[in-house]
Amino acid sequence: MTIRNKLTFLFSGVIAVLLLAFAFVIYFSFSENRETEYYNSLRHTAIIKANLLLDAKVQPGVLQLIYKNSPNSFFQEEVAIYDTSFHLLYHDAVEIDKVKETRQMIDEIVAKKQIKFYQGQMQAVGILYHHNHKDYVITSAANDQSGYAKLRNLRYTLIISFFVAIVLIYMAGHVFASKALQPVSDLIDEVDIITATNLDLRVHEGNGKDEIAELAVTFNAMLNRLEQSFDAQKEFVSNISHELRTPITAMLTELQVTVEKERSNEFYKEAIHHAISDTQKLVRLSNSLLDLAKANYDHTEISFRDTRLDEVLLDARNDVMHDHPDYRISIIFEQEIEDDNFISISANAYLLKVAFMNLMENGCKFSDPKEASVAISYFQNKTLLRFQDQGIGISEEEISKIFNPFYRGGDKKLVAGNGIGLSLTKKIVELHQGNIAVSSRPGSGTTFTVEFLHL
């Protein structure tokens, strides 16, 4: 069921219950009123007739004649007057006695002074009437036809107006719900046309105040993020293709030129060296991409263990120096490690080693001589690793870009690389709930500070 229908039914339902309650209250209060008024009217008639007989000394025969000749005597009050010893003094209806008075009833009237009751469809009252130091018991009964007709009328009016009102309320509810949900329908229409090819489209943010506007604003913010991520992915893919194409094209051209004619051994050797170097670039690139893919995994899919940072650093240093025997990397403990926990974090040792190797390699490759150092320190609940070099440094305008995938500094032509290293390192550090910051002065060196919360 749509929200619009739900709202309409809910609205109509609530109003229907209220209307019904309202109608019942009106009906029953009218019904009570009718009953009370009719008892009063019966009482008045009884007293008037008693006065006519006892005070005005009107002949009973005259009263009976009036009663008999009235247009519809069945609905007229039939009055009977007794003395307290159940002797009938007067009776309107000589032929049909509507109220069958009994000795017991007379006694009850004397005891209670007034009783009210129904005799079949008729309402009746019995009263004790005091006149000239004597007590009389009068009963008066009739059928309140006009009262019941009014009650019936009211019932029909209420039932008909209830159903008419429900139909009107349902229609009004439907219109209001549609109107209230119109912005949602508009939003759906707008969202419907947004696809991967037109992620630049945005939905209208309405008045900027209500919940729908809030939803539209949130949705637009999500679109911004998606668009950025899509653009980044596109750029990433185009960068990868570029990085792959460059060594492959170079290798292809070199090999084609080599096989064009007979060459000297020296020439072949050089060509093979160039091909090996291009292939190594490709291997490095594919390894970096693989590591990047691993670092992009869901956090829960990567295994984390308690790991000593100094051990990972030593491991990384060994691997870097194995690949580049000319690099010099020193690891310095700035404080004595009093507790293993100060230097341990929950980590994936492999990914952490990749990150440390990148920072060490960068430190050496952008320095002359190719030297770098890593200083380990801790304070409070943090462990700090400072990767330092005295190399060429990074200019201020480049510093904000170096963590972008495939970004390479202006000096990239001089040094081998593919621009993935730092973006990968940042991802890995963040995956370990750490922080990475850089400070650098062109010409005098660079420091990358990596900060982890220790165990």
Can residue 363 be called a binding residue for ligand ADP (CB under 6 A)? yes
- How many residues of this chain interact with ligand ADP, rule: CB under 6 A? 23
Identify the sign of the CA torsion 286, 290, 295, 296. positive
Residue 402 Cβ vs ligand ADP, minimum distance, rounded to whole Å: 4
Q: Which is nearer to ligand ADP, 123 or 418 (CB)?
A: 418
Which residues on neighbouring strands pair with residue 437, listed in sequence order? 449
Shortest-Cβ-distance residue relative to ligand ADP: 409
Of the residues 4, 408, 426, 454, which one makes contact with ligand ADP according to CB under 6 A: 408
Nearest residue to 378 via CA among 340, 427, 349: 340
Site for ligand ADP in 74-113 (CB under 6 A): none
- By the 8 A CB rule, do 78 and 142 touch? yes
409 part of the interface to ligand ADP, by CB under 6 A: yes
Which sign, positive or negative, has the C-alpha torsion 445, 449, 450, 454?
Answer: positive
Residues 6 or more apart whose CB falls under 8 angstroms from that of 281 comprise 247, 416, 418
Q: Is 417 in the site for ligand ADP (CB under 6 A)?
A: yes
Q: Which is nearer to ligand ADP, 77 or 389 (CB)?
A: 389
Sole binder of ligand ADP in the list 394, 429, 431, 436 (CB under 6 A): 394
Of 219-258, binders to ligand ADP (CB under 6 A) are none
Which CB atom, from 120 or from 410, has the smaller least distance to ligand ADP? 410
Q: Which stretch binds ligand ADP (CB under 6 A): 1-9, 44-52, 196-204, 391-399?
A: 391-399
Q: 3-class SS at 386?
A: strand
Question: Shortest distance, CB of residue 301 to ligand ADP, whole angstroms?
Answer: 24
Task: Decide whether 147 or 421 has the Cβ nearer to ligand ADP.
Answer: 421
Binding piece for ligand ADP, criterion CB under 6 A, among 45-53, 149-157, 204-212, 417-425: 417-425
User: CA nearest 355: which of 290, 401, 296, 423?
Assistant: 423
The amino acid present at 317, given as its one-letter code, is R
The minimum distance between CB 408 and ligand ADP, in angstroms, equals 4
Kindly tell me which residue out of 80, 422, 428, 429 binds ligand ADP, with binding defined by CB under 6 A.
Answer: 422
d(CA 216, CA 408): 38
Residue with tokens 């159940």: 86
* Dihedral sign (CA 265, 267, 269, 275): negative
Q: What does the alpha-carbon distance between residue 115 and residue 102 come to, in Å, rounded to a whole number?
A: 14
CA 139 – CA 120 distance, rounded (Å): 15
Q: Which stretch binds ligand ADP (CB under 6 A): 59-67, 332-340, 343-351, 421-429?
A: 421-429
User: Is-cis flag, bond preceding 71, omega within 30?
Assistant: no
Q: Rounded to an integer, what distance in angstroms lies between the CA atom of residue 346 and that of residue 158?
A: 75
Binding site for ligand ADP (CB under 6 A): 358, 362-363, 366, 389, 391-394, 402, 407-409, 411-412, 417-423, 446
